[in-house]
Amino acid sequence: VTDREILSWQLFGEASRALAQEVADDGYEPDIILSIARGGLFVAGALGYALDVKNLHVMNVEFYSGVGKTLPMPVMLPPVPNAVDLSDKRVLVADDVADTGRTLELVRDFCADHVADVRCAVVYEKPSSLVKCEYVWRRTDRWINFPWSDQPPVTRREGQVLDA
């Protein structure tokens, strides 16, 4: 028994495919997928293939510094996509989870000024999210372990230096 929601790589494959199907069934045909790094990169890549969209952009937004620990507000890190890249495009914003929703709010507001249409697709949405995403795979109020961040970064092992 765990108080966490665990997403395995296998389940992520099914989730991203189902999420793409929701977008397709809704008749939304995005010109651009805008991923929110880093977690959104996996989602955006999977959606890009499943929806046959090749135009992928990245935005870096930093908000969490640990489990349940946030910075005072989400901040955009450079490089920020320019308005020309997005102008008059149908944009699908892809992220792993809408928790407070403040990250997606920032990105959506940034897009709103420049684009024809902006919609959000997330694997998980928490009930407290102030942005209600158009496309959601699953809803939970638990902390989620994603397969890409549930292990610490690798470190160099001893005895692996072959070219000394």
**CA angle 78–83–87, rounded 5-degree value:** 145
Of residues 102 and 114, the one with the C-beta less far from ligand 5GP: 102
Q: How far apart are CA 86 and CA 115, in angstroms?
A: 6
Kindly state the smallest distance separating residue 85's Cβ from ligand 5GP, in Å. Answer: 21
Contact by Cβ (8 Å): 41, 96: no
Kindly state the smallest distance separating residue 149's Cβ from ligand 5GP, in Å. Answer: 6
Q: Is 97 in the site for ligand 5GP (CB under 6 A)?
A: yes
CA-to-CA separations, 3 to 12, 82, 149, in angstroms, rounded: 19, 40, 17
Q: Is 64 in the site for ligand 5GP (CB under 6 A)?
A: yes
Q: Pick one of 99, 108, 111, 137: the residue that binds ligand 5GP (CB under 6 A).
A: 99
Q: How many residues sit in the footprint of ligand 5GP (CB under 6 A)?
A: 17
**CA angle 76–78–80, rounded 5-degree value:** 75
Of residues 66 and 79, the one with the C-beta less far from ligand 5GP: 66
Q: Is 148 in the site for ligand 5GP (CB under 6 A)?
A: no
Under the phi-then-psi rule, with left for phi > 0, alpha for psi from -120 to 50, and beta for the rest, what region is 107? alpha
Q: Pick one of 28, 37, 57, 63: the residue that binds ligand 5GP (CB under 6 A).
A: 63
Of residues 41 and 50, the one with the C-beta less far from ligand 5GP: 41
Given the rule CB under 6 A, which of 48-56, 79-87, 99-107, 112-120 is the region that contacts ligand 5GP? 99-107
Q: How far apart are CA 150 and CA 125, in angstroms?
A: 19
In total, the chain counts a number of residues equal to: 164
Residues that bind ligand 5GP (CB under 6 A): 39, 63-64, 74, 95-103, 143-144, 146, 149
